[in-house]
Structure 1
Amino acid sequence: MTEFVLVPGLFTGPHVWRETAARLESEGARAHLVDLPGRRSENGAGADVAADVALVVETIDAIDAAADGRDLPEIVLVGHDYGVHPAVGAADRRPGRVARIVHVDTAPVSDGVPALATVPDQELRERLAAAGDTGGELAPPARDAWPRWGSTAGLSGAALDRLTDLAVPQPLGTLLRPLRLTGAELPPTTGVLCAESGATLATVRMLLSFGDPMMKALARPGITFFELPTGHWPMLSCPDRLAEVLLAAAAGDGESLLDDADGADARTATAGYLRPFLLDVTERPRERRGTIDLYVPEGAVEAPRPAIVFVHGGPVPEGAEPTPRDWPTLIGYARYAADRGVVGVTLDHRLHAVTAYPAAAADLEAAVARVRADPRVDADRIALWFLSGSGPLTAPWLSARPPWLRCLAANYPIMAPLPNWGVNDARFRPAEVVARGGTPPFVLVRVGQETSAIAATVAGFLAAAEAGGAPVEVVDVPAAPHAFEGLDHTDSARDAVREAMGRVLGHLTVPQ
């Protein structure tokens, strides 16, 4: 019989697991609900991750003692956000006794790294780290503030009330004091991704194809994933489905990042952005100028041409190869622009993390200035075309609207920071800008097979644009996925790219 040890996350206690535990036990398993000691002591005095690890270890030992000489049961430790830190610590202290660790909507854990990373709000993380107060507490959120701690998608009003009414302060020592591991071999791991938080299997695979070191570490035997179409608290929004996933994880099921016995992901070499562009374009050479590449049409020396700057998404890990301006999708768009008589431009920018939008914005601004200074470019007729995670970078340009910026475009964009990013920088929220109106024309290519979390940001942007009277033109590709240019070579996808380009060229007053 499998025995599950369920460890709560930030501000929560055993109550969040009750429905999931009941379903597990109805299927013949046993469930142990951990009440972390810092939640029971006054002002969280002395509470830290080591004390929480010790309690989970006590739970494991109590399970073994109850066996009373019989065969020891299989133990699965389940941690939700912060709760995975004491779960991993306990598995480290009891090597060989834990069959699997399940991470519920949380990142991997490393030795010597405090659990502060489970606080999604970047500004709050920085304040807590700077203060260094390990003896105090972090007050739980008010009812309307829970979305700052994770997507509340799927939660009923009653569930949100319960989350709020039973919330407890989080001892700061649990977040600021590092987890120390002995180096013992840890058991297999399963990650439960919550799509409405912005974490999906597609995202994980894309980060792996970018060469993300953390994702590479997860492409190993014994590491599996499940994805749930819900927000950050699946034990409240879909407890029965979460129980089914936990049982399947205990059985070793789930999706792996490995496709062959050598431990290689065969899809890495053919990830969407590395596949051939969906249109046949002229194989014209690039001109590399620092961080930008130019694809120049014939005749631009005699008569300067408008330019379209194509802005890659991300985050893309620093040092990833090839860099985005060498991706077939970006090259394909730039060459297609040149085929249509305008200068196509690609660039590399520093969007290496979700906190790096200011650096990426500065890189883009410098690149645009360099493009406009090229004598073959008509400096008064520029368009910016954004892809995927570069969507938030549209906000500064929508707000400034220089007269030479004739149009913005965006393909399958992320138009607001996703719930699990914890980024609240108002400079990169395009919806807030278009709601005020007076913005440049905007061509938005929307795919029908988008993840729900990204689609929600697009819907919010379009609603704000309508309210503000902002000129947004939507080109729909109903059957296409995110990054469709390398994945969907159907006539409808090709037609959508041609239509989007035609609309952008129209704003640049280029004859069709």
Structure 2
Amino acid sequence: MTVFILVSGVFTGPHVWADATARLTEAGAEVHAVALAGLGGPVPAGGTEIDLETHIADVLAVIDSAGKEAGQEIVLVGHDYGIHPVLGAADRRAEKVARIVYLDSGLPRDGVPALAAVADRGLREQALQAAGGSAEGAGAALAPPERDAWQFLGSTAGIPDAALDRLTALASPQPLGTLLRPLTLTGAAAALPTAAVLCTGNGASIAMVQAQVDFGEPTLQAFADPRVTFFELHTGHWPMLSDPTALAGTLLKAAAGEGHRLTPRRATEAQPFLLDVPELPRERSGNVDLYLPPDARGPRPAVVFVHGGPVPRGARPTPRDWPGLVGYARYAAGQGVVGVTLDHRLHAVTDYATAAADVAEAVERVRADPRVDGDRVALWFFSGSGPLTADWMGRTPPWLRCLAANYPVMAALPNWGRLDSRFHPANAVAAAGSLPLVLVRAGLETAAVAATVEEFLTAARESGADIQVIDVPNGHHDFETVDRTDESREAVRHAMRTVLGHLTV
């Protein structure tokens, strides 16, 4: 028999697990939804402050009282913030735990508080303000969100109205000490089997995690271990409310060791570009690489290729050396224009302003190069750099002849929280005027990313923007690498012809 110990996230208590618990129990499992202190559980006597250690103790108490029968295996499930007390408890009772399940949660690290995993800028600022200078928020609590504000903590897709009403009505203030006190881990639970359940409606997917592993993100390399399995649920951030049946079934499979296993880091740097392009050398200056046409005479137009992200700070090779971007730059140079790649500092969803400054500075250096026609430049964005397009549509300079984007993320994904309104292309496109826009759309894009693209295209059409969409019906995100097909090759050729057509008129 499996014993599930379920730990919920911020502002929520055991009530959120009611439907999933019923289904797990029907399947023969023993289930305990933990009542964390202050979040449905009793407040410690004697005025003791509630912090992360308090919640770890709550989980430990359930572990110590459960799974008494022979053959029972304890599976700890942590949703959202709940993964922090789960890991803290597993670290202290590793010998009693059979498996840990990360349910649409972050990846906590030793010495780092839970607040660091909160993507929403508004919630972080609210927490720090409520702390009032106290390092661990002694005695303070964070007010729960209003009904319409849950979406900033994660996608509410699929939650029935009545369930969202109940979630709001039963929400509790979150003791700040639970978010501000660092998690302490000894590594005792590092070898335990784990499973991760990703909610695609919240912007996560197995493909995205695999990409992060391939980037070389150090904290994720352990997720390619065969003891780690992955599942996707096609719903929002609260699957226990939006699809408890699917969640229960997934947890049962996770407990049995089923699920998708990641491939250890793939040598993507060895994967050639999907088109044959000339092996042109690069000229490197700072964070910018230039690929010049082989027969360049006089200043030439330039195409600046802007990589996506977020990309881990220590990823190697850096994006400007990725074969896809190098291939695009060499392809452009082979067509008679200057191809440009660059590195920018989009390492987290909080870094868009920094990345925007990096791109703007790099573009000005490219335009100042005497071999570049500074009055004829195109910018070409990829994937997570999509929000950066807003700056250029909102204040289109006369030298910008075309703006292109491949499988772009055109708004904050649900698990990003609130992004600065400056980086919302759907709001900026009305100011694009006659600037030619080219959007290459992957037909098999993830639902969360596709929704941002559709929002942008709707705004573009309503504003009368000059936009051309190039569809890759059978293409996935990053189709040039994932789908090395004739359809993908023709899409790349079509997009390049279109961009160069706007540059050379």
Tell me whether the two structures share a fold, i.e. TM-score over 0.5.
yes
Q: Secondary structure at 1:300's aligned position in 2?
A: coil
1:48 matched to 2:51: yes
CA contact (8 A) 2:114 2:178 kept: yes
Quote the residue 1:158 is aligned against. Answer: 162
Q: Partner letter of residue 285 of structure 1?
A: P
Q: 1:182 to 1:210 in 2, by over 3 A?
A: closer
Q: Secondary structure at 1:225's aligned position in 2?
A: strand
Q: Shift in Å at residue 117 of structure 1?
A: 2.9
1:257 matched to 2:262: yes
Q: Partner letter of residue 288 of structure 1?
A: R
Q: Secondary structure at 1:480's aligned position in 2?
A: coil
Using the TM superposition, name which of 28-37 and 156-165 deviates more: 156-165
Quote the residue 2:75 is aligned against. Answer: 76
Quote the residue 2:108 is aligned against. Answer: 109
1:216 matched to 2:212: no
CA contact (8 A) 2:103 2:197 kept: yes
Q: 1:279 to 1:52 in 2, by over 3 A?
A: same
Using the TM superposition, name which of 338-347 and 401-410 deviates more: 338-347
Q: 1:199 aligns with which of 200, 204, 207?
A: 204
Give the Cα separation in 2 of the matches to 1:214 and 1:95: 20
Q: Shift in Å at residue 298 of structure 1?
A: 3.9
Quote the residue 2:11 is aligned against. Answer: 11
Give the Cα separation in 2 of the matches to 1:308 and 1:294: 10
Give the Cα separation in 2 of the matches to 1:421 and 1:464: 22
Give the Cα separation in 2 of the matches to 1:122 and 1:148: 9
Q: Shift in Å at residue 184 of structure 1?
A: 2.6
Q: Shift in Å at residue 396 of structure 1?
A: 0.8
Quote the residue 2:304 is aligned against. Answer: 309
Give the Cα separation in 2 of the matches to 1:469 and 1:18: 49
Q: Shift in Å at residue 171 of structure 1?
A: 1.2
Q: Shift in Å at residue 503 of structure 1?
A: 1.5
Give the Cα separation in 1 of the matches to 2:431 and 2:165: 34
Unaligned segments of structure 2, at least 5 residues: none
Using the TM superposition, name which of 279-288 and 176-185 deviates more: 176-185
Q: 1:76 to 1:198 in 2, by over 3 A?
A: same
1:35 matched to 2:35: yes
> Map of 1:62-461 to 2, 5 A cutoff?
62-64=65-67, 67=68, 70-71=69-70, 73-129=72-128, 131=132, 132=134, 133-186=137-190, 187-258=192-263, 265=264, 268-269=266-267, 271=268, 275-301=271-297, 303-436=298-431, 438=433, 440-461=435-456
Q: Shift in Å at residue 490 of structure 1?
A: 2.3
TM-score normalized by structure 2?
Answer: 0.94
Using the TM superposition, name which of 128-137 and 38-47 deviates more: 38-47
Give the Cα separation in 1 of the matches to 2:83 and 2:196: 11
Q: Secondary structure at 1:420's aligned position in 2?
A: helix
Q: Shift in Å at residue 153 of structure 1?
A: 1.6
Q: Shift in Å at residue 308 of structure 1?
A: 0.6
Give the Cα separation in 2 of the matches to 1:212 and 1:86: 24
Give the Cα separation in 2 of the matches to 1:299 and 1:113: 54
Q: 1:343 to 1:491 in 2, by over 3 A?
A: same
Quote the residue 1:24 is aligned against. Answer: 24
Q: Shift in Å at residue 163 of structure 1?
A: 1.7
Q: Secondary structure at 1:96's aligned position in 2?
A: helix
Q: How many residues are treated as equivalent by the alignment?
A: 496
Q: Partner letter of residue 59 of structure 1?
A: V
Q: 1:387 to 1:274 in 2, by over 3 A?
A: farther
Give the Cα separation in 2 of the matches to 1:181 and 1:283: 49
Q: Shift in Å at residue 337 of structure 1?
A: 1.0
Give the Cα separation in 1 of the matches to 2:4 and 2:300: 65
Q: Shift in Å at residue 45 of structure 1?
A: 6.7
TM-score normalized by structure 1?
Answer: 0.92
Give the Cα separation in 1 of the matches to 2:393 and 2:48: 49
CA contact (8 A) 2:393 2:432 kept: no
Quote the residue 1:262 is aligned against. Answer: none
Give the Cα separation in 2 of the matches to 1:274 and 1:86: 41
Q: 1:82 to 1:319 in 2, by over 3 A?
A: closer
Per-residue displacement from partner, 1:131-184 (whole Å, max 9, x unpaired)?
333311111111111110001122222222222222121111111122233443
Q: 1:470 aligns with which of 458, 465, 471?
A: 465
Q: Partner letter of residue 151 of structure 1?
A: S
Give the Cα separation in 2 of the matches to 1:45 and 1:404: 63
Give the Cα separation in 2 of the matches to 1:35 and 1:329: 49
Q: Shift in Å at residue 437 of structure 1?
A: 5.2
Unaligned segments of structure 1, at least 5 residues: 259-264
CA contact (8 A) 2:108 2:117 kept: no
CA contact (8 A) 1:354 1:423 kept: no
Q: Partner letter of residue 168 of structure 2?
A: T
Q: Partner letter of residue 485 of structure 1?
A: E
CA contact (8 A) 2:2 2:30 kept: yes
CA contact (8 A) 1:38 1:45 kept: no
Q: Shift in Å at residue 246 of structure 1?
A: 0.7
Quote the residue 2:62 is aligned against. Answer: 59
Q: 1:190 to 1:290 in 2, by over 3 A?
A: same
Q: 1:352 to 1:274 in 2, by over 3 A?
A: farther
Using the TM superposition, name which of 106-115 and 14-23 deviates more: 106-115
Give the Cα separation in 1 of the matches to 2:496 and 2:288: 21
Q: 1:274 to 1:134 in 2, by over 3 A?
A: farther
Q: Partner letter of residue 385 of structure 1?
A: W
Q: Shift in Å at residue 126 of structure 1?
A: 4.4
Q: Secondary structure at 1:107's aligned position in 2?
A: coil
Q: Secondary structure at 1:79's aligned position in 2?
A: strand
Q: 1:477 to 1:498 in 2, by over 3 A?
A: same
> Identity of aligned pairs, percent?
61
Q: Shift in Å at residue 487 of structure 1?
A: 2.9
Q: Secondary structure at 1:406's aligned position in 2?
A: strand
